[in-house]
């Protein structure tokens, strides 16, 4: 399993979490967003990947507190600072914070289409996006890597100040790619 210990340079990377996108990923039978989606991802990051808690920034839309299934616990998370309740749509603050960082990761399945023209370049968001799934309580994260871009990224390893991906092994039968993320400074 990949952990922060395997890649010590990742210890300084901020991870932004799109709370609304994650909580609305699965909903209750009556359509409420589920707080357990967020806690599952947080548990995975902190307990399994060993990401320092201070590197995780959870940003939420202000109205989520009124719709989420476990309002009391969510309010406690806001009060403790574990979740930041934005004054308006969180997407703007997530992308704004990401733009202020040298590099960060954004966990969300949102494509942020309405903001693409405001970003530095077309690949900027793709390089930072980490998609997720929660299957039977198991969190699965997936960097949004296109096979066509791997060769380009490999050529840029020595030149880039951002994140580069090297493919160690391609297993076509399992349709999986093991990737190693290297942060170069």
pLDDT for the residue numbered 121: 83
pLDDT in tens, 51-99: 899 999 999 999 999 999 999 999 999 999 999 999 999 999 999 999 9
Three-class secondary structure of residue 80 per DSSP: helix
Q: Are the C-beta atoms of residues 63 and 40 closer than 8 Å to each other?
A: no
Q: Which two tokens stand for residue 49?
A: 């990947």
The pLDDT score that the predictor gives to residue 124 is: 87
Torsion angle of the four alpha carbons 93, 46, 25, 36, in this order, in degrees rounded to the nearest 10: -120
pLDDT, position 13? 85
What's residue 35's pLDDT? 97
| Ranges of the chain whose pLDDT falls below 70 | 1-11, 143-185
Q: Which domains does the chain have, with CATH numbers?
A: 4-144 (3.40.50.11980), 145-185 (no CATH)
Record the pTM.
0.74
Token pair in block for residue 87: 């004054």
Spatial separation of the C-alpha atoms in residues 51 and 132, rounded to whole Å: 16
Cβ contact 172:75 at 8 Å: no
Which are the contacts of 111, defined by CB distance < 8 A and separation ≥ 6? none
């Amino acid at each position: 399993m990949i952990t922060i210990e395997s890649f010590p340079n990742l210890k300084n990377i901020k991870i932004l979490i799109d709370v609304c996108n994650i909580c609305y990923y699965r909903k209750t039978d009556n359509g409420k967003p589920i707080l357990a989606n967020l806690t599952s991802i947080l548990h995975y990051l902190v307990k399994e990947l060993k990401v320092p808690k201070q590197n995780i920034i959870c940003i939420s839309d202000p109205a989520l507190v009124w719709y989420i299934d476990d309002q009391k616990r969510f309010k406690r998370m806001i009060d403790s600072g574990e979740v930041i309740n934005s004054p308006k749509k969180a997407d703007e603050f997530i992308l704004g914070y990401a733009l202020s960082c040298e590099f960060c990761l954004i966990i969300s399945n949102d494509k942020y289409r309405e903001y693409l023209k405001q970003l530095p370049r077309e690949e900027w968001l793709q390089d930072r996006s980490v998609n997720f799934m929660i299957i039977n309580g198991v969190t699965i994260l997936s960097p949004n890597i296109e096979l066509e871009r791997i060769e380009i990224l490999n050529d840029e390893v020595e030149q880039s100040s951002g994140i580069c991906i090297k493919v160690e092994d391609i297993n076509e039968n399992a349709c999986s790619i093991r990737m190693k993320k290297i942060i170069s400074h």
